[in-house]
């Protein structure tokens, strides 16, 4: 097939479709076409769609290299296995993002078995589910979730095996092992006689996870989860307040503890009496108080929406969880623990509140007051917690 090149603009990035063979005879034409499309469609990012690219020779690779020099942000997508091998062999996969062509799946007739914040989960066959992400969810996020699941699995944590990233119509999906299981929230609500047994397991799983230390720089820093949601803040907060929020995040001591990042009863499943974690996209490394502050936040303020429990019930579960996690917290440590907990919960909550259409000035101000506390006190509190609660 002779070479064909066409371009379209979408979301401020230029997608260029390259079809056919690129060799020394057709490379000059590819170069001319690509650079004239870039000139006509100025954009930060260029995506080369290689779905119908059959072959690329070194002359074609040189054109891509030249494009990379001209445009820092380039990505090659939908690459066949044969062409991917060429990119890999020549080191291009280390210089830019190159994504393989994804397998297409249809979910027609498949039963939806779950729904969360980023998409819907379908039972694909008796052993597999497909988590189908909303169309606006970016590939980077999806790949991160898949990679994090794999890391957690290789660290020996109980979680579903993750398979391929696939395409489902216009959306992306990830295939996972199907777990015939109920979530921990329904198990607790439907089997009160087993509540303590499962909450103890829930706390013990968190402790097991929090004993895993990662090498520095292996995973995303946990505190970045707060920064990644800051975009929404300008609607309610002044530039100075946003700067202050940003600097608060640095008060959390650096740690390399593995944390789940979204640990709550709907992201823990009960299979044959054992707990398994799912929804691993926020796996990161950081201080375990980040995780505990977020768990506290989901129980104290997002209980109905996130866990599906009344606040009263969720707080009862939280107290038991804490008891199993720490045992008795010494009386002289408790004030520090409670201050840091409330503070992290406020840091966690603030960006979400700024996004919510139901927020009011009064509510935002009250949560800002919980976040903007005496920083010297917070530093002292962390020192106490590190000496007394997290020394092992």
Ligand X SMILES: Nc1ncnc2c1ncn2[C@@H]1O[C@H](COP(=O)(O)OP(=O)(O)O)[C@@H](O)[C@H]1O
Residue numbers of the site for Mg ion (CB under 5 A)?
116, 267, 279
Q: Which one, 70 or 112, has the nearer CB to ligand X?
A: 112
Cβ proximity to ligand X: between 278 and 345 the closer is: 278
Residue 191 backbone zone (phi > 0: left; psi -120 to 50: alpha; other: beta): beta
Contact 284, 276 (CB under 8 A): no
**261 belongs to the binding site for ligand X (CB under 6 A):** no
Asked whether the beta carbons of 256 and 178 are under 8 A apart, the reply is no
Q: Is 278 in the site for ligand X (CB under 6 A)?
A: yes
CB 146 within 8 A of CB 162: yes
**CA atoms of 340 and 65, how far apart (whole Å):** 50
Q: Which is nearer to ligand X, 48 or 297 (CB)?
A: 297
Least Cβ distance, residue 310 to ligand X (angstroms): 19
Q: How far is the CB of 260 from Mg ion (least distance, A)?
A: 11
What b/e string do you get for 1-30 counting C-beta neighbours within 10 Å, with b at 16 or more?
A: eebebebeeeeebbbbbbbbbbeeebbeeb
- Contact pick of 31, 279, 282, 381 for ligand X (by CB under 6 A): 279
- Which one of 52-60, 112-120, 305-313, 332-340 is the stretch in contact with ligand X (CB under 6 A)? 112-120
Number of residues that bind ligand X (CB under 6 A): 19
Nearer to ligand X, 264 or 287 (CB): 264
β pairing state of 284-286 and 13-22: unpaired
The reply to whether 308 sits near ligand X by the rule CB under 6 A is no
**Is the Cβ of residue 161 or residue 212 nearer to ligand X in the bound state?**
161
- From candidates 165, 179, 309, 347, binder to ligand X by CB under 6 A: 179
Q: Name the phi and psi angles at 305, rounded to 5.
A: -75, -45
CB of 137 to ligand X, least distance (A): 10
Region class of 20: left (phi > 0), else alpha (psi between -120 and 50), else beta: left
Q: Which is nearer to Mg ion, 79 or 306 (CB)?
A: 306
Q: Give the per-residue contact string, 125-164, with ligand X (x = CB under 6 A; - = no).
A: ----x-x----------------------------x----
114 contacts ligand X (rule: CB under 6 A): yes
Residue 229: name the closest of 365, 117, 337 by CA.
117
Which tokens hold the place of 359? 């927020």
Q: Which does 113 bind (CB under 5 to 8 A by kind): ligand X, Mg ion, none?
A: ligand X
Judged by CB under 6 A, the residue of 7, 60, 119, 173 near ligand X is: 119
- Among Mg ion, ligand X, none, partner that 280 touches (CB below 5 to 8 angstroms by kind): none
For residues 370 and 67, what is the distance between their CA atoms, to the nearest angstrom? 49
Residue 131 contact among ligand X, Mg ion, none, beta carbon within 5 to 8 Å by kind: ligand X
**Is residue 112 close enough to count as binding ligand X by CB under 6 A?**
no
User: C-alpha distances in angstroms, 277 versus 28, 179, 364?
Assistant: 52, 10, 32
For 252, which DSSP code? Answer: S
148: nearest Cα among 259, 303, 70, 244: 259
Question: Cα 65 from chain centroid?
Answer: 31
Site for ligand X contains 389 (CB under 6 A): no
């Amino acid at each position: 097939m002779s070479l064909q090149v066409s371009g379209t603009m979408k979301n401020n990035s230029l997608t260029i479709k390259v079809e056919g063979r690129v060799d020394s005879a057709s490379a000059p034409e590819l170069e001319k076409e690509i650079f004239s499309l870039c000139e006509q469609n100025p954009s930060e990012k260029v995506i080369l769609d290689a779905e119908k690219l059959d072959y690329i020779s070194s002359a074609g690779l040189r054109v891509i290299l030249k494009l990379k020099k001209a445009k820092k942000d380039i990505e090659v997508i939908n690459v066949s296995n044969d062409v991917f091998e060429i990119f890999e062999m020549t080191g291009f996969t280390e210089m830019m993002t190159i994504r393989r062509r994804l397998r297409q799946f249809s979910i027609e007739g498949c039963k939806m078995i779950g729904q969360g914040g980023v998409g819907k989960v379908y039972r694909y066959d008796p052993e597999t589910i497909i988590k189908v992400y909303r169309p606006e969810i970016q590939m980077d996020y999806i790949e991160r979730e898949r990679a994090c699941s794999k890391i957690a699995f290789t660290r020996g944590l109980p979680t579903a095996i993750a398979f391929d990233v696939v395409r489902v119509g216009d959306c992306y999906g990830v295939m996972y092992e199907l777990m015939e299981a109920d979530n921990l929230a329904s198990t607790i609500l439907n089997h009160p006689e087993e509540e303590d047994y499962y909450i103890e397991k829930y706390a013990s799983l968190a402790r097991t996870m929090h004993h895993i230390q990662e090498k520095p720089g292996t995973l995303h820093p946990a505190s970045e989860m707060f920064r990644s949601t800051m975009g929404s803040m300008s609607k309610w907060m002044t530039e100075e307040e946003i700067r202050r929020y940003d600097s608060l995040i640095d008060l959390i001591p650096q740690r390399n503890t593995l944390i789940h990042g979204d640990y709550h009863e709907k992201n823990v499943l009960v299979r044959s009496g054992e707990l398994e974690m799912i929804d691993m996209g926020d796996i990161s490394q950081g201080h375990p108080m980040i995780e505990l502050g977020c768990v506290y936040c989901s129980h104290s303020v997002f209980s109905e929406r996130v866990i599906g429990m009344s606040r009263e019930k969720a707080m009862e579960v939280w107290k038991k969880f804490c008891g199993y996690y720490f045992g008795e917290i010494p009386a002289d440590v408790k004030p520090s623990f409670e201050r840091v907990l409330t503070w992290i919960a406020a840091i966690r909550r603030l960006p979400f509140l700024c996004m919510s259409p139901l927020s009011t000035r009064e509510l935002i101000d009250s949560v800002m007051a919980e976040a903007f506390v005496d920083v010297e006190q917070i530093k002292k509190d962390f020192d106490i917690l590190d000496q007394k609660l997290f020394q092992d």
